[in-house]
Structure 1
């Protein structure tokens, strides 16, 4: 996928999987997101409960991975994998907050087994360092040579 195709796909999706690390362990969580093309970043509204495992992993992760994908059939799929730095935002401007709620997929927070009032919501930005996008039809990596011979196979993105 070309950069404009990747950006368009990021605007369309609304959910993905954020992968973090801590002491040699991986931790991946499904989350909602919005893509902010002005700053080439994703915005997350993350919820934390007391003694949050997610928070501990965020604190220890230097370089995170974020994946979003669409799968309709074995011959109709797309995926985008991003690597970057996750940073807490003390505040978010109204334009970005509106964009988040327009693009992000709404997720019920009852999955936390805590009352909603016990969940601490914090804004984060995922500043993209590298990106790749693939589809069942075409695969073009941002760092790959032009003459890709994968034939659309997923070869380990």
Structure 2
């Protein structure tokens, strides 16, 4: 295997990407904006609509959507206890999940997540599981490999 020699100019050109703490957040913001645009384009959000976010992490998208649509119902699920604790302290309805096929006792109008499926060991089973929690039967492929269930 041949080593690739990176020129110092190239290294400096992309150094900000490697060293910035916001690199991952900028990628996620792009995905978040795509999800928000999709919801805005396909729904008239009402007070009786319900949303489920899978893997809310720091809650940036969750909080943004809840602020934008204050009358809709939002529930978030996450595998990290610290993320759940942080969001619950802020008054959000967030729950810890310990299994990919976590119990879903409610139906939702929209189920979404950003960069989640690559963490799932059995994505087909996971998608079927989420599909059964929908009020409607529609799956839409989003930009950047994201899938929205609505």
TM value normalised by structure 2? 0.25
1 or 2 for the larger relative contact order (CA 8 Å, sep ≥6)?
Answer: 1
Which structure's CA Rg is the greater one?
A: 2
Which of the pair is proportionally richer in strand?
A: 1
